[in-house]
Amino acid sequence: MAGDAMPTFCIPENHCGTHAPVWLNGSHPLEGDGIVQRQACASFSGNCCLWNTTVEVKACPGGYYVYRLTKPSVCFHVYCGHFYDICDEDCHGSCLDTSGCTCSPGTVLGPDRQTCFDENECEQNNGGCSEICVNLKNSYRCECGVGRVLRSDGKTCEDIEGCHNKNGGCSHSCLMSEKGYQCECPRGLVLSEDNHTCQVPVFCKSNTIEVSIPRDLVGGLELFLTNTSCRGVSNGTHVNILFSLKTCGTVVDVVNDKIVASNLVTGLPKQTPGSSGDIIIRTSKLLIPVTCEFPRLYTISEGYVPNLRNTPLEIMSRSHGIFPFTLEIFKDHEFEEPYREALPTLKLRDSLYFGIEPLVHVNGLESLVESCFATPTSKIDEILKYYLIRDGCVSDDSVKQYTSRDHLAKHFQVPVFKFVGKDHKEVFLHCRVLVCGMLDERSRCAQGCHRRMRREAVGRENDSGPQSQMLTGGPISIDWED
């Protein structure tokens, strides 16, 4: 009942029995191509690819396809099927002779020698478009980024010069000024990073996600999340919804270089007037996708013993998310009691128990300690350094790793050591941690120990990046003369 295959052209919203239909952004493979990866796009709010994910497709003998589809993160993402046209002339016999089968312009004959599949013009030179090419059924169209508009040739783009042209590309208000024009938002909404689109403010923290929706936008609607027991609370001017990465049906995925937490705010008409005086509604349904992004890669540093003045590592991502880790020094191999009140003196014959600890425990994620190295100072770029872990591999045979119930936590034991020289009485540890999805069998975390070229490894160590911050503690004196 789903049809012959997934559509390879943009499906408008409110089709396929849902609000945001998902279509295949790319051509189907040939049988000899084996399993290929394709982008799947969800159409919503006039954008043919507002969300996207990666799926796998294989062409099988007999002229049909098999798909491995990523589980949708929200309920209104639904994969589409499509009934394609059949060629004009019936095939006879084995159907190997295709001379009698002709397909209309914009379509190509499929592997079953009868079905006319859509031809993706965007795969050839981006359809001639200077920016965005959107494949349509038997055709295609060119689009431009936010704040730009198509020229008369229908392929190239130019900047919008004022509010008179498509409202300046603004989603709401467009105001002219001496320097040109600017977009403004109604009270309670904020301007997104593209400086043209107004959106509901979302506050992303490691332990909470808060959505604040203006009451004027809500009207007489009741707001709730994917788990309908999580509902909005009005403070008179806004309806606020507070939840976490582990509650209210929040889905946590790893996408490229980010950890993405998503949920959906749905608004439906109230059955009875509320105490806040809402007696009318202005829309029959409200859908607000909520997304928080957190970076995957973290660099954390610590002396042999944590300093109580240290604060948890908080790394700001482009969309305001933080996902904190700390490096703890523990008293024994149980890894339950870290040093908190004093900085003990460790002897060379002692064992050092240290661990990477997440401050937020989220199911479905795991971590990989890509590297850990020691330096005699707190500087991460110190020339003198000693590796304990490198490229996910133990570099020092004396390092012992313990198993942990939490897949994000990593625990290690190593004999206490110091750097050669009377002046080197302090040791600092620096670790790089990568977060992956547990179900991704091809992730870097799943690969574990992975030897790479030294130049690449050194390059990554020196790449502090805009999303990295240092958490430095200690030091302590090492009793090495005894």
What per-residue confidence (pLDDT) applies to 148? 81
CB 294 within 8 A of CB 322: yes
**Residue 456, pLDDT above cutoff 90:** no
Position 36 confidence tier, pLDDT thresholds 50, 70, 90: very high
Q: Which residues pair with 329 in a beta bridge?
A: 354
Sign of the CA dihedral 375, 376, 378, 383? Answer: negative
Q: Which domains does the chain have, with CATH numbers?
A: 1-90+101-119 (no CATH), 161-199 (2.10.25.10), 211-270+283-295 (2.60.40.3210), 325-449+468-478 (2.60.40.4100)
- Enumerate residues 6+ apart whose C-beta is below 8 A from 291: 202, 260, 261, 262, 319
Q: Average pLDDT for residues 457-478, to the nearest whole number?
A: 39
Distance between CA atoms of residues 415 and 347, nearest Å: 9
What per-residue confidence (pLDDT) applies to 341? 65
Compute the C-alpha angle 247/206/468, nearest 5°.
150
Distance between CA atoms of residues 149 and 360, nearest Å: 44
- Closest by CA to 404, choosing from 354, 448, 444, 370, is 354
For 82-91, 122-131, 196-205, 380-389, which range has the lowest pLDDT when averaged over its residues? 82-91
CA distances from 124 to 19, 119, 127, 229, 363 (A): 30, 10, 6, 48, 42
**Residue 462, pLDDT above cutoff 50:** no
Distance between CA atoms of residues 173 and 293, nearest Å: 28
Distance between CA atoms of residues 19 and 42, nearest Å: 9
Position 24 confidence tier, pLDDT thresholds 50, 70, 90: very high
**Residue 257: alpha-carbon gap to chain centroid:** 7
Q: Which two tokens stand for residue 378?
A: 């707190």
What per-residue confidence (pLDDT) applies to 479? 58
Tell me: the pLDDT tens digits for 136-175?
888 899 988 877 888 889 999 988 777 888 888 888 888 8
Q: Rounded to two decimals, what is the model's pTM? A: 0.58
Q: Count CA atoms within 13 Å of residue 57 on its CB side.
A: 23
Sort strands 410-415 and 400-402 into parallel, antiparallel or unpaired.
antiparallel
What per-residue confidence (pLDDT) applies to 68? 94
For 33-42, 226-235, 409-418, 444-453, which range has the lowest pLDDT when averaged over its residues? 444-453
**Phi (first) and psi of residue 479, to 5 degrees:** -85, 95
Instruction: Please give the mean pLDDT across all residues of the chain.
Output: 77
Percent of the chain with pLDDT over 70: 79
CA distances from 262 to 253, 311, 404 (A): 8, 27, 27
What per-residue confidence (pLDDT) applies to 58? 94
